[in-house]
Amino acid sequence: MKMLPFQAAQAYSAAKSAVAAPAAKSDNAGLAFDAIQKLAGVINESEKASVGLMTGGADPHSVVEAIAAAELAIETAITVRDKVVEAYQEILRMPV
């Protein structure tokens, strides 16, 4: 599979929107589910680009861009997870 520059831009856009602060919604579970789906999409695009490079059908530059977008999305997800765990631990320390 050949990844064109506009596909890499779309993958970057997807990663950027996955880590952007979402608008206020009342359904936090749906918000988290959407963010996880976007993260999975970015990772899948990165995997497809990597497979395309291995089979000789992708531009190395676009593969690097897709992998960088996936790395950004994963690092953001890890940071959010750490903040959630930290907030939960703070709640547990509160006196009742």
Tens digits of residue pLDDT in 66-93: 999 999 999 999 999 999 999 999 999 9
Query: For residues 54 and 3, which has the higher predicted lDDT (pLDDT)?
Result: 54
CA distance 69 to 83: 21
Tokens 């890499």 identify what position?
8
The stretch 3-30 carries a mean pLDDT of 64
Stated pTM of the model: 0.62
How many Å apart are CA 23 and CA 9, to the nearest integer?
23
Q: Is the pLDDT of residue 1 over 90?
A: no
